Amino acid sequence: MNPIISFLKYSHKEEDMLTEPIKTVRHFLIALAVMLIVGLPSTLLAQEAQLPDQIQKDKLELGKRIYFKRCVWCHGVEGGGDGPSADRLFTRPRNFIQGTFKIRTTDSGELPLDQNLIDTVTNGLPGSAMPAWGSGVMGGRVLSEDEILAVVQFVKSLVQDRDFADEDEEVYVQEFGSNPWGTSAPYHLGVPQEDIDAGKEVFLKNKCFECHGGEGRGDGNPTMKDDWGFPIFAADWQQCWNFRGSRRNPYDPFSIVRTVSTGLNGTPMPNFKDKITVEDRWKLAAFVNSLCPRKKIDKNANKPINDFLVKSKFTKGPVSTDFNDPMWQAPDDDMKIKPRPDGYTGKKNQRWHYIALAGQITRGQRNFKPKVDNLWVMSNWSEEEQAVYYLVEYHNRFLSVDPAYPDAVAIQWPGQLEELFGAEKPYFIYGDSKKPVDIWKANFMVKDYKDTAAPNPNGYDIDVSVKELVGHGFDAVSEKETPGGVTVVNSKYHQGRVKIMFKRSLTTENPDKTDVQIPVESFIPISFMQWTGWDKEHDELMAISTWCYTILEPDNPASMLYMPPILGVAFFGFQMWLVWMTKRTRKMAAEGKVK
């Protein structure tokens, strides 16, 4: 019998024999007990099965109108996930016919509640093409609450293989307990280290690494398929802003607890409801969450804000090429959010710069599904060596095993910096006839590597060959006749993270004048390109950044703390570029305009 009921019955029988004051105490105790029991983690109380929310037929007309205006482009006329733009998207739009939904509060395999779908349509599915229709898209909302409720009803009516009214479709709504530390984003401030460590034990014991990789970059298994037969990869926990179910609040551990409790229907991501207690799921979530760099998240793009100025730190003597040297150490965290850990020995203010990448979709073979959408960049320069070092790192779950398609990453500079005025820059893809670019490109293959083998915890060495290119425009890229002496002085592929360290002298004697001459204390345009060999990216099929700036800081960078107006202009330009690229991709993808 339910413990509450038996307790109440027992108390009631005794009550007649008690005197008034004792009764009052008794009443108080009963109330207290009821409060305690109700407040207990719900796993102790039996869950009630219930029918899923039924389709609200009166909303279907409105829902249909919205669906055919907003959703059909991706999800298709019948909801088969085969709209005109579907082929160009990775992950593909959902096929609604089977009634399989990833983000739910119901048990594994079950239909979702209306509220789950409403949250999805409102916030979108970050890291996929599914837009947020009700929160913060360019600061406003596309659909009202009523419209979202209606379109959700219509989506449910597209489900053919299951019946929301069937008794066999009863759902169990899970309970997830509550955040035991009461901290809010940016999370893990205030979570005791021992809880994070305990979470790591849960991670190891439940072998999450078999899919998510040893450090959570999703590099565990390249051969997974989803229920619709399409390739799928485990989430990269170090890019939590791409969690489908994060509801645009990437540092909230709740969404991880929910994912681990319910699994993601239609994907290999299992549920651990019976394997991991609710308390342990929160600790596991604390661990997973602690791996994600703390960055300020752009409300519109739902990704970290681009660092449009890469600061190169001054060193009097030579720069170390050892990745572990303190001069190359910085927590990934944005300092404004999280203070540096005690005992930090790196350079003052050394930091990782986040550089956003987008698929190149302007010219030639367009890249709609770039596998990499950001780089982390750090830089030092040496007065003694008169040389500059750029360390470029990025996450890629799997690297190329086919020498015809090596992986590659490149830094692009204005070829003739001294000829540029003010904010003038060459065209952002390979320059133009008047304003050439200087491209330092590192092509590389991993040694002794098989993409299907379990990741090597010690990492892999890589074979790098540097090419220096001159770009005079999209169709006018060629290798330099006299290279400017760019070298890659260290490189590694470690648990899904590529590390490439470039070096070049500040100036060169090149008679062809094809090399950038790098001044100190001056804002220099710089941009990045990246090719994923595993996905056969090559030439213009690549990921690109916009122009950012870099500066070689003087010994005492105090004078650099204020921002010259040029940066304001650059930042504004970047925002416009992002908006333009996003709109353009969406539009082209949605309307199937490109061949």
Which residues would be at the binding site for ligand HEC (CB under 6 A)? Answer: 70-71, 73-75, 89, 91-94, 101-103, 117, 120-121, 125, 128-131, 133, 151, 155, 206, 208, 210-212, 224, 232, 234-235, 243-246, 255-256, 259-260, 264, 267-270, 272, 284, 288, 590
Where b means 16+ CB within 10 Å and e means fewer, 466-492 reads: bebbbbbbeeebeebeebbebbbbbbb
Distance CA 560, CA 314 (A): 13
Is the Cβ of residue 138 or residue 563 nearer to ligand HEC in the bound state?
A: 138
Question: Residue with structure tokens 């040029």?
Answer: 566
Nearer to ligand HEC, 52 or 436 (CB): 52
**Closer CB to ligand HEC, 86 or 541, in the complex:** 86
Residue that is written with structure tokens 């209306």 in the block? 114
Q: How far is the CB of 209 from ligand HEC (least distance, A)?
A: 8
526, 411 contact by CB (below 8 A): yes
| 8 A C-beta contact, residue 423 and residue 451 | no
* Cα 164 to Cα 377: distance, rounded to the nearest angstrom: 50
Nearer to ligand HEC among residue 150 and residue 470 (C-beta): 150
Query: Rounded CA gap, 155 and 146, in Å?
Result: 14
- The residue assigned the tokens 């300020």 is 296
CB of 297 to ligand HEC, least distance (A): 15
Amino acid at 565: P
Closer CB to ligand HEC, residue 101 or residue 502? 101
| Least distance CB 169 / ligand HEC (angstroms) | 16
Minimum CB separation of residue 518 from ligand HEC in Å reads: 41
What is the C-alpha separation between 175 and 579, in angstroms, rounded? 39
**Radius of gyration of the chain from Cα atoms?**
28
Min dist. Cβ of residue 74 to ligand HEC (A): 3
**For ligand HEC, which is the closer residue by CB, 2 or 160?**
160
Nearest-approach distance from CB 550 to ligand HEC, in angstroms: 34
Cα 285 from Cα 508, distance rounded (Å): 51
Intra-chain end-to-end CA distance of the chain, in Å: 66
Question: Least separation, in Å, of the C-beta of 244 and ligand HEC?
Answer: 4
Rounded distance between C-alpha atoms, residue 437 and residue 443, angstroms: 18
With respect to ligand HEC, which residue has the nearer C-beta, 297 or 439? 297
How many residues comprise the chain? 595
**343 burial level (CB within 10 Å; 0-12, 13-18, 19+):** exposed
Q: In the complex, what is the shortest distance from the CB of residue 223 to ligand HEC, in angstroms, rounded to a whole number? A: 11
What's the closest the beta carbon of residue 203 comes to ligand HEC, in angstroms? 6
Complex with ligand HEC: residue 195 or 468, whichever CB lies closer: 195
Give least dist CB 210 to ligand HEC, A. Answer: 5
Burial class (CB in 10 A: 0-12, 13-18, 19+), 392: buried
The Cα 366–Cα 388 span in angstroms is: 33
The token duo for 49 is 């099965």
Residue 286 · residue 220 · CB < 8 Å: no
Q: Toward ligand HEC, which CB reaches closer, 129 or 526?
A: 129
CB-nearer residue toward ligand HEC: 243 or 430: 243
